[in-house]
Chain A
Amino acid sequence: MKIVVCVKQVPDTEAEKRLLPDTLTVDRESSNPVLNEMDEFAIEEALKLAEAHGGEVTVLTMGPDGADAAVRKALSMGADAGILLTDPALAGSDAVATSYALAQALGTTEYDLVILGSEASDARTSLVPAMLAERLGLPQLTFASKVEIDGTDITVNRLTDYGHDVVKAQLPAVVSVVEKINEPRYPSFKGIMAAKKKPVAQLDTAAAGIDAALVGAGAAATAVVDAAQRPPRTAGVKVSDDGDGGVKLAEFLSAKKFI
């Protein structure tokens, strides 16, 4: 089985994120770029499926030059190969364009299954997995908390507002995973060393068959008009419980008219 995991390099999870005042794009310079946390769960699931059913795991990322840090992390966890889709023309792509670019890049390789994290910690739209399924004309098995494969049958538990749906489809398919699905492994020292020798193919728009007019900031179907940072929240009153902490809290709630 051939599995491709689409991953994204994002600003450090813990860093204060902001839009650059001039370009209104995400500030990616002021913090360390990391592999999107949720994508670690996607990689882990791919590795587990490949271990159980035999197969190969390739990671695909679209990003600026240097976004191979995300690919390297995935390779050190155990993925077999990487594809880095990078081209200045892609900068500023929105979800619509990103899904197009990923769909085209996927066309350069063979796969039975595409796995993504259910959202990226920077934009947090959760749009790309569903858009990719739509573009590829493949089953959309998103928000999966469990994935089972039997031959070409795939069954997932899809988390919903009311509980979960059990969803069945045939491979090839597009899956997105939630963080309930597994516990991502840490790269071992051996894994980190081995990753250095694994192949990472680099694609530009032409090599991926991407029409450059359909991607990048110029082609975006949405535009940020303006943005402002909210003043950070400040800590208010802090009291130690000396036996009457609950009473004091009730007084606060009462003063605020919650009671």
Chain B
Amino acid sequence: MAEILVLVDHADGAVKKVTLELLTKARALGTPSAVFIGAGYDKASEKLAEYGAAKVYVAEDGELDAYVTAPKAELLAKLVADTGAAAVLVPATAEGKEVAARLAIKTGSGVLTDAVDVSADLIAEQSIFGGSTVAHSKVTQGTPIIAMRPNATAPEAVPAAAERVEVSVELTDAAKLAKVVEKVVLPKGDRPELTEASIVVSGGRGVGSGENFAIIEKLADALGAAVGASRAAVDAGWYPHQAQVGQTGKTVSPQLYIAAGISGAIQHRAGMQTSKTIVAINKDEEAPIFELADYGVIGDLFKVVPQVTEEILKRK
């Protein structure tokens, strides 16, 4: 069976859940080969084996991480040529999509983004227009490149050999034009990652201040949830931009999404309206968020959120 290349998403070897989802999908398409770029492979190898990587192409050369996306695309292009891979799966994150974009040009291939599923004949299911339309699409030229949404597949552990194959690429000058001179890493708490969480509790302008986000966090912790925010809350400096849900933030599709003090602007809805169950807490009865809420509470979030948190803790 042909190889399916899976670009590993990781932070210093800590493998992101989306990678396990991609390996699970890749298994139905061919033989999964993970592509690990950057430092920390020793930490990653076990997980990749557990979730079915037959091979892992490992490129630990620091140069590959020192410039914006182009080096990763060059390495993948080389692997596509050397392995004759049948497809390349990348996570549909901002960076994953950009690597896919460059790889598509290098290999003369089509690329599909925001896939929520892919079938054995490489037809991708895409959730488009903020989730209001489901389309099936295929790549008609080159080696299909498919960017898959995090949290759309249940990862299944099916162990494989994860045979380590060292790879490297002689970077062209063109790949070294945008140099990363500093990585600013914001502290990340113990809460689940936004795009991976099965429950998300988000706060908006109604929360009123950064300090007040503590009540959103308490509810999130009572439910084991991730914390999200609207753009208004992020722009006000109350919560970091990584927490932004919506068109220009993260797209989330959890089992449960709770929006507190969020009006439900179209740009916000674009990032959360495929959530299984939606709960809204808003003091304005006319707020558009209620149009998609399975359960809406018209009220002051400063009363409702602490009360529901207390009830949850009591019932647990």
Chain A residues with CB under 8 Å of chain B are 13-14, 16-19, 24, 38, 94-96, 99, 118-119, 121-131, 133-135, 137-143, 145, 155, 158-170, 173, 178-180, 220-230, 232-233, 235-241, 243-250, 252-254, 256, 258-259
Contacts and interface: CB of A to CB of B under 8 A. Distances in A.
Contacts of B177: 137-140, 169-170, 173
Given A165-B184, A225-B137, A241-B298, A250 B241 contact: no
Nearest to B250: A161
30 contacts: A18-B132, A99-B105, A124-B113, A125-B113, A126-B97, A126-B113, A127-B111, A139-B177, A140-B69, A140-B70, A155-B181, A163-B240, A166-B183, A167-B180, A180-B241, A222-B110, A223-B137, A223-B140, A225-B123, A230-B132, A233-B292, A235-B291, A237-B295, A238-B290, A241-B297, A246-B309, A247-B307, A247-B308, A249-B281, A250-B307
A238 B94 contact: no
Residues of B contacting A: mostly: mixed
Contact of B312 (A155, A224, A250): A250
Contact of A124 (B111, B231, B247): B247
B223 interface: yes
Interface in B90-108: 93-95, 97-98, 100-102, 104-106, 108
B297 A248 contact: yes
Contacts of A119: 247-248
A18 B293 contact: no
B68 A227 contact: no
B294 A237 contact: yes
A144 to B, nearest CB: 11
A130 B96 CA distance: 11
Residue of B73, B273, B293, B316 with highest tally of chain A CB at under 10 A: B293
Given A95-B101, A236-B296, 14 more contacts: A13-B266, A130-B97, A139-B68, A142-B68, A161-B94, A165-B182, A166-B182, A167-B68, A169-B179, A235-B290, A237-B294, A249-B297, A252-B279, A258-B256
B11 A162 contact: yes
B98 A140 contact: yes
Interface of B: 11, 68-70, 73, 93-95, 97-98, 100-102, 104-106, 108-114, 123, 128-142, 174, 177-186, 188, 199, 223, 231, 234-235, 240-242, 247-248, 255-256, 266-267, 270, 273, 277-279, 281, 285, 290-300, 303-312, 315-316
Given A96-B111, A124-B114, A163 B104 contact: no
B136 A139 contact: no
B306 to A, nearest CB: 7
Nearest to A159: B241
A127 B273 CA distance: 23
A122 B306 CA distance: 38
A229 B262 CA distance: 26
Contacts of A140: 68-70, 98, 102, 177-178
Contacts of A253: 223, 256, 279, 308, 312
Given A131-B101, A162-B185, A221 B68 contact: no
B255 A258 contact: yes
Contacts of A122: 129
A14 B266 contact: yes
Contacts of B100: 127
Residue of A19, A121, A249, A256 most packed against chain B (CB within 10 A): A249
Contacts of A135: 105
B184 A164 contact: yes
Nearest to B277: A256
Contacts of B73: 134
A246 to B, nearest CB: 3
Nearest to A126: B97
A163 B311 contact: no
B110 A96 contact: yes
A142 B98 contact: yes
A249 B104 CA distance: 48
Contacts of A123: 128
A239 B123 CA distance: 43
Given A221-B109, A246-B308, A127 B300 contact: no
A233 B92 CA distance: 24
Given A238-B296, A249-B279, A258 B199 contact: yes
A24 B306 CA distance: 47
A38 B231 CA distance: 14
Given A139-B177, A140-B70, A160-B94, A229 B102 contact: no
A42 B131 CA distance: 26
